[in-house]
Structure 1
């Protein structure tokens, strides 16, 4: 009620309307479940109240009566022990039929009721103690009579029917009472009243049949009349309810008065047959059941046409049609049709309630619109797979009738025809009609990568939108806010699909897949999730690559500025010609190393030592100095690839130490020793101590402090100082360096292998 309504109206709604508030749906459901349990209990008590006769003959499939582990044939009779011989009741096969309404004529039904009346008198004469059963060969058997049936003696088919009836009532109660919007609101618009009537019909038929179809030969005639009446009216109620449902749901096809007229005609039809006003053969239950089944098929076809362009309604209709046609079809073909043709039923009537209950559960799922996005594909596939069973049976029957082959030969022939014709056609239909065309994997990968490689969020959103349009062809794509947290999800029963925005793209909402011809389903969810993950991973890889490239650019700029630039400036301002040449040689060597790093060429430890040894000897000889650098174990490391940072720092460290020795050391040889034990590299440079101290650290990267900083960056240690008239610089480095990544990881593996 609107907030601006008068206070008197808002505060006293019951007084203004004169109606009580409706109980909560959950309370109504509890009450309904209680009524169902109570009804099932009454059914059990009624069945237990029937007398139990044992042992009795059973009716075989060939129509012959047989006693377990005893004689078989016709001519069985039942009598009270003290009754004259002429009062014995001859047991006919009709007395053992599950449903007396399956009898083919009025005379047969009258004979059945007369026999039940005579058995009742016989039980009263015998005092419900013992009867005498005479076999076809004249042998006698005593039949124990229990006034009530023990609970343990109830057959399994009784419980099957009781469970089928109870389950339909429970499903109806749950759907009608807990369905969003309430049962009252949706009953007229969506045919829920018809659904409820169908549930009551199934339950009434199952409960009544459970009592009389499992009797031990005898049932009181009056009780039988009432039970069979409830059974037939329940059967008609199920048919009328389903016709009511399909006339209104998913689309309204016609007004309700024809449905009400059919319900009234069904009652008159039943009364006419029971009263004897019309010949029983003309008003058989099975005839009207067959007509109702044809009407249901016609309404399903009409609904299929009416739901064109409405994928959600079409999916619900497919599930409804599948449930009703298969379940009703099994009952009609295996129970009702054989009875109408005066043939024995192909299935026990009690077991036939299983497909009827399955119909109702499937119908409830469709009305609740549960997972409609998958129902259409499940329904179509189930139709195809059941088709092969029907085709095998049809081919087998055709061969038996037309070719008169033996059963094994006809079965083999039908299997061959199915294998050669049906199965290939079925696979072709599945591939062409049902198997959704999947985009090429390369196309999917290219589309996701294209989204991740766009420069900014608007460009990524446009690329992501274009990819979704190519994949699903929705009628509408809505762009949500970039900050909206969205995961892949189905909305509106599969009419809409929420798509997250990967790699900075905006999330999207797609509606009406394939231009409105289908619903979005779980396969679409998986595809979107995979594409989003692929795009996000690509974006992360791109970010990592950009970070690495930026780091590489900074490293190159630093090396050019700190090393090459400083040496070129030093050579430009140096007044010493020899020193200027020295700076130029070092600058060229630095440029060569930087170019090597940019080209990605691998430099091993042995190759680096060879270059450093040649360069150092040239520099020493240019100044008239002698360099002693013998080969050691480090020169044998031909497979140890050095990381670029280690290469640059180690080279710069050696050059700085050599420059100090050349320009500030005393006369005499300069000794260099490099050793490697597989885990650590030791580099030692010794020169005679001069009179001048080493140059202090400057902005050009010179001096002992700069060398110590480089060694620390490599995770090593540096010791330097005079020792017995000589100046020693020694660096101890872990080689290969830990956590270097890239080339450092390669160096680690090669070092371990060597």
Structure 2
């Protein structure tokens, strides 16, 4: 039943009703205040205010000219100063209950003056007295534009809370943000009542307004710390911390209203540095917990920046001056807007919207804050130490900050933000070099994968059957999906820099540039290979028609059997050369082992020799280039020819031994045996030695005595052939 009630529509309706009630309450309170129609600002002279404008049809219309400088109002007790105006004064700044009572008493005195039946008498700086009778109630139309604008703009906070809760209803942080938005709006409504006041607020109304502010910010501020305790990952289990925080906040609010006890330093603001410290501790703990979790780490950066940047400014320019008994550096309106930035930033962090951009803008925010704080700190120090005028102190501060800020900025850019180890320009030479020796589509694809690994060091690289046209980000930058060069599949990279970072838009742009270069190189290589193949086909066709036909004629016409066999071998070599030269992809070793066995078996059978064939190792894992296959074929033919021609054996044995990187061929025969040291290096032996050297292998000629005396040739051929094969 509760789930049916808490639907997005019902929650939105409840929030809008809450906002409307808070708005109507603020309007009602303001309309209960006396109205003169005078819009005043602080004057340049001490303790004065200046009439900036006067509303038409107001009690002051025609009685006070615009620009009049007022010193106060005349009362039975004497001159009562109007400065500081309430809208420009922090109403929560009284540090003790005695100061707060005095603040209320001053508002009560002003209220008696403005509600005097005979009217209120304004005293100008020239000593002139101007008496007018204010209206006892402020018309709705007289409420200033600032009131409506601030109410409307700060409506963003509760609406953002509803939006986040709608998208993440089961996440505790989203519920806390919704609560934060509601209580923050209470604080805003109290604040805009102060900002919209004319000269003062009646004490009973001011007391209600301040209670709204204390209740609103007293709960909204700790809720921000709680959000950091539950997002991006929970630091505590259960709701005990929530109830403890709400209980402490309620105690603070009740204490402020009933004046039970005063906290050291300031009865209200002394708790705000503690909230700031608590949030900082939560951020540090979250930072440690989100190690090797790039999405959570990016969300934390959003949350931390959203809280720390405005909060640091609020503490620095508003809270700290009040704690030291000074007026804040900015007015109430700016403080309200800074609090609004916190709510929006927290929403982005919880929703994890565009987290892949965080690494760029969070440092810009940090540098902006650092630069401003550095100039302000140096300016205050120079002014205090050397007693210089404001202009000289500011100029010197800017110069000193320039020498300190820019080196520090460069250090932060290099250390705080983990930049790419290589920019795109530095990576291009190695990338181009890796593609330069690729000759086939498969090789280009393999080089492309190797380049992606080298560029991003992903935690996982997974091929996908899905085809895409452009590089895409997914899961807030956790994944980067990249097309293959031939666009028949795609690859998903997960966890940039071993899951230390997120992919971002710059990675998409750079990858698209690399993809374009790789495809251009692949297409150019394919066109070059096609041109080479066309020329090779033409040459092979000419060889087959001319030299091939002549060799075929010789195999039939030569009378000498040896010559006929040589012509036949030459014809077979020519045909193999033509066939293999037209191949562009690697060939399977196991297929050619079968071809070699069939050919050698046929020759052995024709010579009346028994063939013994053995294979050890897995031939299916090896792929050979066409040129390597042709070279091994020629080596086998020449070795077998030498054995059959010169040794006249009864048995011929061939054993192929294969491991991961080497092919070893042992060719033995039991014919006429002699010591290899006595052999003359004729054409056959020289050809074998030349070919094996070209392959990067070696050859041994052995005289063996087991199982009986025989000669053996050992060919060792690396399967990872040298460049150029």
Fold match by TM threshold 0.5: yes
TM-score (norm 1): 0.63
Q: SS state of the match for residue 101, structure 1?
A: coil
**1:532-543 correspondence to structure 2 within 5 Å:** 532-543=515-526
The correspondence for 2:121, drawn from 116, 119, 132, is 132
Determine if contact 1:312/1:494 at 8 Å carries over to the other structure. yes
Cα deviation digits, residues 230-252 of structure 1 (max 9, x gap): 10111111221012111222222
Q: Secondary structure at the match of 2:121?
A: strand
> What is the aligned partner in structure 1 of residue 316 from structure 2?
333
- Take 1:72 and 1:297, find their aligned partners in 2: how far apart are those partners? 47
Give CA-to-partner distance per residue, 1:551-593, whole Å, 9 cap, x none: 5567789999999xxxxxxxxxxxxxxxxxxxxxxxxxxxxxx
Q: What pairs with 1:167-566 in structure 2 (closer than 5 Å)? A: 167-177=156-166, 179=167, 182-183=168-169, 185-187=170-172, 191-255=173-237, 256-279=239-262, 284-431=267-414, 433-434=416-417, 435-439=419-423, 441=425, 443-444=427-428, 447=431, 450=434, 454-481=438-465, 484-485=467-468, 487-503=470-486, 506-550=489-533
Structure 2 matches for 1:583-662, cutoff 5 A?
none
Whether the aligned pair in 2 keeps the contact of 1:270 and 1:285 (CA below 8 Å) is no
CA 1:385–1:327 in structure 2 vs 1: closer, same or farther (change >3 Å)? closer
**What secondary structure does 2:461 align onto?**
strand
Structure 2 equivalent of residue 77 of structure 1: 73
Take 2:537 and 2:157, find their aligned partners in 1: how far apart are those partners?
75
* Secondary structure in 2 matching 1:510: strand
Q: 1:552 and 1:78, CA in 2 relative to 1: closer, same or farther beyond 3 A? A: farther
Q: 1:143 aligns with which of 132, 135, 146?
A: 132
Contact 2:36–2:135 (8 Å) recurs in 1:
yes
Q: How many angstroms apart in 2 are the aligned matches of 1:443 and 1:65?
A: 67
1:66 is aligned to: 49
Q: Distance in 1 between matches of 2:365 and 2:125?
A: 50
* Secondary structure in 2 matching 1:141: strand
Cα distance change on mapping 1:108 and 1:420 into 2, 3 Å: closer
SS at match of 1:67: strand
Partner of 1:145, secondary structure, is coil
Counterpart Cα distance in 1 of 2:132 and 2:126? 17
Q: Which residue of 1 aligns with 2:701?
A: none
Q: Secondary structure at the match of 1:346?
A: coil
Give the Cα–Cα distance (whole angstroms) in 2 for the partners of residues 77 and 443 of structure 1.
75
- Structure showing greater radius of gyration is 1
Structure 1 residue 115: Cα displacement: 4.3
Contact 2:97 2:267 in 1 (8 A): no
**Aligned counterparts of 1:376 and 1:383: Cα–Cα separation in 2:** 11
Name the CA shift for 1:273/1:186 in 2 (closer, same or farther; >3 Å): closer
Q: CA deviation at 1:449?
A: 7.3
SS at match of 2:134: strand
Residue equivalent to 1:9? none
Deviations 1:601-645 (A, max 9, x none): xxxxxxxxxxxxxxxxxxxxxxxxxxxxxxxxxxxxxxxxxxxxx
Residue ranges of structure 2 left out of the alignment (5+ in a row)? 52-65, 547-725
- 1:133 match: secondary structure: strand
Q: CA deviation at 1:114?
A: 3.4
Task: Output the TM-score relative to the length of structure 2.
Answer: 0.66
Please say if residues 464 and 491 of structure 2, whose CA atoms lie closer than 8 Å, have aligned partners that are also in contact: yes
SS in 2 for 1:497: strand
Q: Which shows bigger deviation, 216-225 or 302-311?
A: 216-225
Count of residues paired in the alignment:
531
Q: CA deviation at 1:139?
A: 1.6
Aligned pair in 2 of structure 1 residues 332, 278: CA closer, same or farther (>3 Å)? same
- Aligned positions of 1:5-20 closer than 5 A: none
Q: Which residue of 1 aligns with 2:663?
A: none
Tell whether the 8 Å contact from 2:467 to 2:488 is kept in structure 1 after alignment: no
1:175–1:368 contact (8 Å) kept in structure 2: yes
Indicate if the aligned counterparts of 2:478 and 2:502 stay in contact, CA closer than 8 A.
yes
Match runs of 1:574-585 below 5 Å: none
Give the C-alpha shift of residue 281 in structure 1. Answer: 7.1
Cα drift, residue 506 of structure 1? 4.7
Q: Is the 8 A contact 2:218 2:249 kept in 1?
A: yes
Q: After TM superposition, give the deviation of residue 100 of structure 1 in Å.
A: 3.0
Range moving further from structure 2, 532-541 or 311-320:
532-541
Cα distance change on mapping 1:26 and 1:445 into 2, 3 Å: farther
CA distances 1:179-207 after superposition (whole Å, capped 9, x unpaired): 1xx41x212xxx23322232223211111
Distance in 2 of aligned mates of 1:517 and 1:162 = 42
Contact 2:95 2:268 in 1 (8 A): no
Contact 1:94–1:112 under 8 Å retained in 2: no
Displacement after TM superposition at 1:88 (Å):
6.5
The Cα shift of 1:422 comes to 2.4
